[in-house]
Amino acid sequence: MTSQNRHDLPESAGIIRLLSERTINRIAAGEVVERPASAVKELVENSIDAGATRIDVVMRDGGKALIQVTDDGKGMSPDELSLSVERHATSKLTDEDLVNIASLGFRGEALASIGAVARLSVTSRARGSDEAWAVRVEGGGKHAPEPAAFSNGTRVEVRDLFYATPARLKFMKTSRTEYGQAADVLKRLAMAHPDIAFSLSDGDRTTFSAPPVGGLAGDARLERLAAILGREFRDNAIEIDAEREGLHLTGFAGLPTFSRGNAMHQYLFVNGRPVKDRLLVGAVRGAYQDYLARDRHPVLALFLDVPSEFVDVNVHPAKAEVRFKEAGLVRGMIVSALRHGLGMAGHRASTTVASAALGAMRPHDGGPSLPWGRAAERPTLPRGFAAQFDGIYAPAESSGGSFGEGGQLALDRTGDIAMPSARPTYETTEMPAAPVQEDFPLGTARGQVHATYIVSQTADGIVIVDQHAAHERLVYERMKKQIAATGVARQTLLLPEVVELEEGPAERLTARADELAGLGLIIEPFGEGAVVVREVPAMLGKMNVQGLVRDLADELTELDEALSLKERLEDVAGTMACHGSVRAGRRLTVDEMNALLREMEATPHSGQCNHGRPTYVELKLADIEKLFGRR
C-alpha cells in the first residue's frame, strides 16, 4: 500500500475493533480452502478419520459447481452434526492434546471454512440410528438440522464454491486443471490408506477407482501403488523397509533407470499423512545423487511411521508440512534405506528400457519417450540386426585377458587414489568351443556389434551391453570403495580462506564440520558469521572455495544436506572412471566380454551408468519374435 493509499483510508480504519464472526470465517477459509482440491482433501480426511471403508467423490465443473463426498463411516447424531459446522469444533483432540495427534484432522476448521465461502450441506446417519439428519450453511449462515433420508455414513455437498468471495474465483484455473489437482490429492490419500476403497467421478463417468486391498504393507501396498502409478512402477520398484530408534520406513522406490524429468512422482507420507517436506525431498535427492543426472528424478512412495511426540503436524493450516524432533535421524534413515535398497537391486535395470528399445526398432513416425533422459542422452542401439552383419565381431576363441593398448592413466587432481588401469585385472578362464552355459543373469557373450556393444545369449532371450557405459560404472564403484576405505585425500591451502556468511548459515556449517571433513573439507568458525577453510579435497584441484562454501551453506539451510561437495567429488570420480574405462570401438575377446558380464552381475548399480542411463538392454525371445511377426 502506498503512502497516498494510506491517506485515503477513512479515519475509523485506525480504530482497533473485533472482526465479525462471518469475516473471521472467511479469512480462515482463505488459509484452509485455497482451491477445490483443498476442500476435497479436508472432506476426505474427515471420512478417513470417521472409519470409512469406502469414499466416493463427485466433482462438477472442476469443483466450482459441486463437490460431493460420500462415505460409510460412523456418522453423526443431530447434535454432533450441528456442532460440526462451527469453527474449532472437533472430536479428534482428546484432552486438547496437540502433541499426541493420531488423526488426519484436528483443527475443527474445515466445514466452517467451506460453509463461509460456499453453499454447504451435510447429511449424516449415525451407526445404529434409525434417522438421518441434514444441516445447511450458506455464506456463513447456519440453518437448524432437519430430518433427511440417507443410509449409514455421511454425505457432504459443496455447491457454488467461493460464491461468497467472488475475488477468489478470478484466481481459479480451468475446470480440467482443478479436477486434476483434486485427483492428485485423492490418489495420495488412496496410497496411504490401501484398505479403503476410493472413487472419483466428474458426474458423467468415473475417472479414478481404487478397490481396497488386503493390508498396509508388502505386496498389498504395492498392489495399491500399481493401481495408481501404473504396472510399470510395480515391475521396476524395490521394496524399502527400515527401522531405527522407534522410526519405521516402508514403501517402494523405482530403479534409477525408471526416472522422470520432474519430482512430481515422489510421494512422501508421515503417519499416513501426505506431506511435502524439504527435508524428505532433500534426503531422497541425496540417496539417488550417485545414480541420476541432476535433471532426472526418481519415482517412489515412502511411508514413515513415527511416534506422535516425535513429529509436529500443527505447522500449517493445510497440514502439508511437518517438523521432526530429530531431523538428522530421519534424513539419515531415509538415505541409508534407499541406498541399501538400490544396492540390493544389483545389476537390475528397469523393464522400460527393453520396451523403449523395441519401440525404437519398430517403424514409426515419432521417437520413443525413453525413461532415462533427453534424446541427446539416449544410447544408440543397432536399428536392425539383419542389416548389420558386417559390424558383428564374433571371435572363435580367446586371445587372452587384455582390453588392448593402454597403460596407467596420468590424470591430475588424483590425490592418493590409485587410478584404474586401462588394462582391467579380470581373471579370465579358458572356455570350450562347445555350447556354453546360458543360465547367467546376463547370459553368455556371443559377439560384439560395431566394437561397441556386446551381444550375449540368455536362456530366454538376448542382452545388448554398452561396453563403455558398463565398464565405467564398474570402475566408478571400485573407486568409491577405495575412497570409503581410505578417505578423501586433502590438500592444505597455503593461505587459509575466510568466507563471510550470515550467522545462521555459518553455525550450520560449523555444526557439520565433522561430516565435511570426511569429504575432504576442513573448516573452522572464524568469529561471528564467518568460517575459515584450511584444507580442501585434493581431487578438485583449483576451485572457487568461496562459491563452494556458500553453496554448501545454502543447501544446509534448504535441504539439510551438503550435496554440492558430494556431487563435485562424484563428478570428478565419474570423469576419472570414464577415462579409465574400456572405450567404444575396442574389440574384445570372448573371455573379456564374459568377464565384464560376470563382474556386472556381481556389482551393485551396474544396471545404469553414473548418469542414470542403462548399461544394457534385455530382449526376451517373445519380444524378438514379435519384431519378426512370429507372434
Mean pLDDT, consecutive 10-residue stretches, the chain (631 aa), reads 51 66 64 82 90 95 94 90 78 55 64 86 91 88 88 92 79 90 93 93 92 78 90 89 91 87 87 82 83 82 88 67 82 88 74 60 50 44 38 49 34 42 46 55 90 90 89 81 77 90 86 82 89 85 83 74 62 65 80 91 82 83 81 70
Question: Grid cell 585434493 — which residue?
Answer: 538
DSSP assignment of 205-220: SEEEEE---S-SSHHH
At 558 the pLDDT is: 66
Contacts of residue 488, defined as CB under 8 A and 6 or more positions apart, other chains included, come to 415, 518, 519, 520, 537, 538, 539, 569
Cα separation values, 166 from 37, 109, 162, 172, 428, Å: 18, 21, 6, 11, 77
Burial class (CB in 10 A: 0-12, 13-18, 19+), 629: exposed
Strands, E, within 227-265: which ranges?
237-244, 247-254, 259-260
DSSP 145: P
Q: Is 147 exposed, middle or buried (0-12, 13-18, 19+ CB in 10 A)?
A: exposed
pLDDT attached to residue 615: 87
CA 133: distance to chain centroid? Answer: 43
Cite the DSSP H helix spans in 444-589: 467-486, 503-511, 513-518, 545-558, 563-579
- The domain limits of the chain are 21-206, 218-344, 352-482+578-627, 489-572
The residues pairing with 146 across neighbouring beta strands, listed in sequence order, are 134
Q: Give pLDDT, residue 88.
A: 67
- Cα distance between residue 74 and residue 540, in whole Å: 63
Quick one: fold of 489-572? Ribosomal Protein S8; Chain: A, domain 1 (3.30.1370)
The structure's pTM equals: 0.65
Cell of 108: 475443527
pLDDT score of 109: 74
pLDDT in tens, 153-173: 999 999 998 887 777 777 888
CA separation for the pair 537, 522 (Å, rounded): 9
Cell numbers linked to 440: 547367467
Reading the block at residue 585, the C-alpha cell is 570401438
Domain 218-344: which topology?
Answer: Ribosomal Protein S5; domain 2 (3.30.230)
Could you give the CA distance from residue 305 to residue 313 in angstroms, rounded to a whole number? 13
Cell of 386: 539383419
Q: Does 3.30.1540.20 match the CATH number of domain 352-482+578-627?
A: yes
pLDDT for 412 = 37
Residue 590: which residues within 8 A CB-CB, separation 6 or more? 395, 397, 398, 431, 445
User: How far apart (Å, rounded) are the C-alpha atoms in residues 334 and 244?
Assistant: 10
- CATH of the domain spanning 21-206: 3.30.565.10
Give the other-Cβ count within 10 Å of 447's Cβ. Answer: 16
Is the Cα dihedral 227, 230, 231, 234 positive or negative? negative
Nearest one of 442, 446, 480 to 460, comparing CA atoms: 442
Radius of gyration of the chain (CA): 30
pLDDT value at residue 415 = 42
In angstroms, the CA 49 to CA 91 distance is 10
Sheet strand arrangement including 461-466: 392-393, 444-449, 453-458, 461-466, 616-620
Specify whether the CB–CB gap between 539 and 572 falls below 8 A.
yes
Please name the residue that has the C-alpha cell 493509499.
Answer: 5
Cell of 245: 530408534
7-66 confidence digits (pLDDT tens): 554 555 557 777 676 666 666 665 667 889 989 998 999 899 889 999 999 999 999 999
For residue 320, give the nearest of 272, 263, 276 by alpha carbon.
276
3-state secondary structure 347-380: CCCCCHHHHHHHHHHCCCCCCCCCCCCCHHHCCC
